Amino acid sequence: MCDAVGYGCQVLAYLEPHTGCFAGRFEVPGHPWSVVYAVAKPEPRLLSYYSQTGVLSLQEWPAHEQRRTLLPLQDLLSVEGCLRIIRAGPADPSPQVSSGEREGRACVELTAPPSASRNAGLGPASMTLFIDPITKRVEEVRIRQFVPGETQIAEATYTIAYDQPPVAGIHELGVPQGLPIEDLRPPKEAWPLLDRLDHRVVHGIGDGVIVRLSWGLDDEGKPTGGERRIMIAAQEGDRFLNLRYSLAPDAAPSQSQGGRASVQDLPAWPDLSLEQVLDAIREAVPDNLVTSDGSRLWVGHFDKDKGRLTGQGDGMEILDASHRAQVTSIWRSYHSGGAWVGRRWFGGQAGSVYRVLHDPQRPGVVGLTKHRAPPPPGTDGPPQYSIAGWFDTTRDDLPLSFELDGQLCSGEPGGERVDYLDPVELPNGRWFYRRTLDWQKSGTEVKRRETRCILALDAKLPPSWFGDPALRFPQVVG
C-alpha cells in the first residue's frame, strides 16, 4: 500500500515507504503535463514522460535524488514534519501552534511571525493541517507563503490519502502504451565504477583531517604570491566540517574586519605542518564554513559588508530535510579525494553520449567521458559540454584527472581541469593524492592553481569545531 499526496488538482504523488517508490503526475490546466515514476529497489531507476515532446526516458535515481524527492513529501504527513517545513531559519521566532476547528473539521494552525527569511520566500507564512479525528492522521495541508519581492502570498493545498493501491507502472498515470524508451543512463560497463565512487563520496577515506594549501600560479606555473587559501576537511563518525580561509598577499599586512580575526601571514608557506595550520586558524573566522555535529547542519559565509557570519535567510542552520541531505552529500565528498566526479557529474541527460575508455599503457586505469551536443537551433537547453575523468582502479579508484570543457551561459568558452598527483596509500588501505594542479577558463581568462595536501587520519579536532558556529564565533554572529 502507498500514501497519495495531491497538490490541489494539479499534482498527484504516490509514496511507498517500504519500496521507496515515487510516482507523480504534474498537470496545470491548459499546459503540457508530465509524469514521473521512480523505484529505489532493487535497481534505482526513474522513468519520465513529457506530453509536449512525447518522449519517455529512463534515468538513474541516485540516493541523494531520492532523499531530495521524498523527504519534503514525507514531512507533510505529520505535525512534526510540518513544523520542520515552516521553520525557515534557526533565528526565526518559533511558530505559534494552536488547535481548533475550521469548516467543521479538526485542525492544527501553524502561524509563523514575520522574519527576513520568510519574507524572502524561504518558508511558509502559515500552515493549516486538517486532522482525521479517529486516525489522527493529517488529511489536508494548506500552505500560505510570501512571494519574494511582492506583497502577495501564494497558496497551495495538499490532500493526503493513505493506504492506496500501489501504482504498478507509469502507464497507470496516463502515459501511452508502446512508446520507445530513451535510455539516458551511463553505459552498464561504467556502473560498477560509479557505484564505488558514490560509495566513496558517502564514506570518504575514514575519520581524520585533510588540509589543502592552495595558491595562484602565473602562466609559467610560478607562484603569484597571492590568492593563498587554507581549506580544512575533517570527519569523525557522523560529524564533519569544511572550512575555507583566505590569506592576504605576501606584501599586505593582516587585517581585521568587523571584529573578525583573520589568518596571520605564514612565513613558512607552503611548507607547513598540521599543527602550524591549526594554530594559525584557531582564532580566525573562516570565509566559508559547513559544520555538522551528526544531527544538525550549518552553512555560512563571512559577509564583509555586514562584518558577520551569515547564511541563507536569518540563520546558518539548514532545517529543511531534503536541503540538508543534498548539502551533506556534496560537502562530505570533499573528504573523499575528488570522487565527487561520480554520478553527480556523469548522470544521464538527454542528448548525452558516453564512452568508457581503457589505456593499454596503464593497466587498471579507466576513463569515462560524457559529451552533450548543443541544443537544436531555436530551442532552449543547457549549452554543449564534454566531461572526461580518469580513475586508477588498482588504487581505490583514485582520480587521476578530471576535465570539463564547454560553453558558459553567455556563449563564451569555459571549463576546468584538475590533475591529481603524488598518490599515497594511507594506513587504512585507502588511497589519496598529495598535490593537484588545476586551471579554470572563463572566456579569455585562465586561472591556474596548485594545491598541496596534509593528510592526518589520526588527528582529531575539538568537538566545538563541528557544532553551532554562533557558539564558536559569537563576536561575528548575531
pLDDT 10s digits, 110-151: 988 766 555 555 567 789 999 999 999 999 999 887 665 555
Within this chain, do residues 177 and 148 fall inside the same structural domain, yes or no? yes
Query: What is the DSSP code (8-state) at residue 286?
Result: P
Residue-averaged pLDDT of the chain: 80
pLDDT at 4 > cutoff 70: no
Rounded Cα–Cα distance for residues 163 and 292 (Å): 36
Residue 434 CB neighbours (<10 A)? 14
- Give the per-residue pLDDT at 199: 78
Q: Look-up: residue for cell 579525494?
A: 337
With 90 as the cut, is the pLDDT of residue 159 above it? Answer: no
CATH at residue 153: 2.50.20
Domain count, the chain: 2
Task: Say yes or no: 103 and 214 in one domain.
Answer: no
Residue with cell 556534496: 330
- Read off the pLDDT of residues 313-359 as tens digits, 9 standing for 90 and up: 556 877 666 566 666 666 665 555 554 566 767 766 656 788 899 98
Same-domain status, 180 and 256: no
Question: Taking Cα atoms as reference points, which of 304, 320, 299 lies closest to residue 468?
Answer: 299
Range of the domain at 150: 2-185
pLDDT tens per residue, range 412-444: 778 889 999 999 999 888 889 999 999 988 888
CA distance linking residue 213 with residue 232, whole number of Å: 9
Same domain assignment for residues 94 and 138: yes
353-372 pLDDT per residue, tens:
888 999 899 999 999 988 87
User: Of 135, 156, 185, which residue is a domain's last?
Assistant: 185
pLDDT of residue 361: 93
Handedness of CA 196, 184, 13, 1 (dihedral sign): negative
DSSP state, residue 277: H
**185, 207, 224 - which closes a domain:** 185
Asked whether the CA dihedral 215, 216, 220, 222 is positive or negative, the reply is negative
3-state secondary structure (DSSP) of residue 117: helix
- Residue 17's pLDDT band (cuts 50, 70, 90): low
Which of 92, 66, 325, 62 is closest to 197 using CA atoms?
62
Examine the domain organization and report whether 330 and 412 are in the same domain. Answer: yes
Query: Among 25-34, 222-231, 303-312, which range has the highest average pLDDT?
Result: 222-231
Predicted local distance difference test score (pLDDT) of residue 18: 60
What's the whole-model pTM score? 0.76
Burial class (CB in 10 A: 0-12, 13-18, 19+), 247: buried
Runs of H (alpha helix) within 283-403: 321-332, 343-346
CA dihedral for 52, 57, 62, 66, sign (positive or negative): positive
Q: Copy the grid coordinates of residue 185.
A: 543512463
Q: How confident is the model at residue 94 (pLDDT cuts 50, 70, 90)?
A: confident
The Cα–Cα gap between 301 and 471 comes to 15
d(CA 172, CA 47): 13
CA distance 157 to 142: 4
| C-alpha cell recorded at residue 239 | 560529524
- Shared-domain flag, residues 52 and 111: yes
Residue 213: all three cell numbers together: 594549501
Q: What is the DSSP letter of 323?
A: H
More confident residue, 143 or 466: 466
Is there a contact between 92 and 110 (Cβ–Cβ < 8 Å)?
Answer: no
Residue among 423, 418, 393 nearest 194 (CA):
393
Amino acid of residue 162: Y
| Candidate from 2-6, 33-37, 250-254 with smallest mean pLDDT | 250-254
433-436 long-range contacts, CB within 8 A, separation 24+:
433/337, 433/338, 433/398, 433/399
Same-domain status, 135 and 239:
no
243 in the same domain as 177? no
- By C-alpha distance, which of 7, 10, 12, 8 is closest to 167? 12
pLDDT tens string 45-58: 889 998 888 889 99
> Cα angle vertex 88, ends 83, 90, to 5°?
95
Determine the straight-line distance between the first and last CA of the chain, rounded to whole angstroms.
47
Which DSSP category does 324 fall into?
Answer: H
Residues 342 and 460 in one domain: yes
Q: What is the pLDDT of residue 9?
A: 42
All 3 cell numbers of residue 131?
Answer: 486532522
Distance of CA 383 to the CA centre of its chain: 22
Please indicate, yes or no, whether residues 180 and 248 belong to a single structural domain of this protein.
Answer: no
- Domain finish residue from 129, 162, 185: 185
Same domain, 122 and 51: yes
Question: 59: phi > 0 → left, psi -120 to 50 → alpha, else beta; which?
Answer: beta
Considering the domain architecture, whether residues 284 and 177 belong to the same structural domain is answered as no
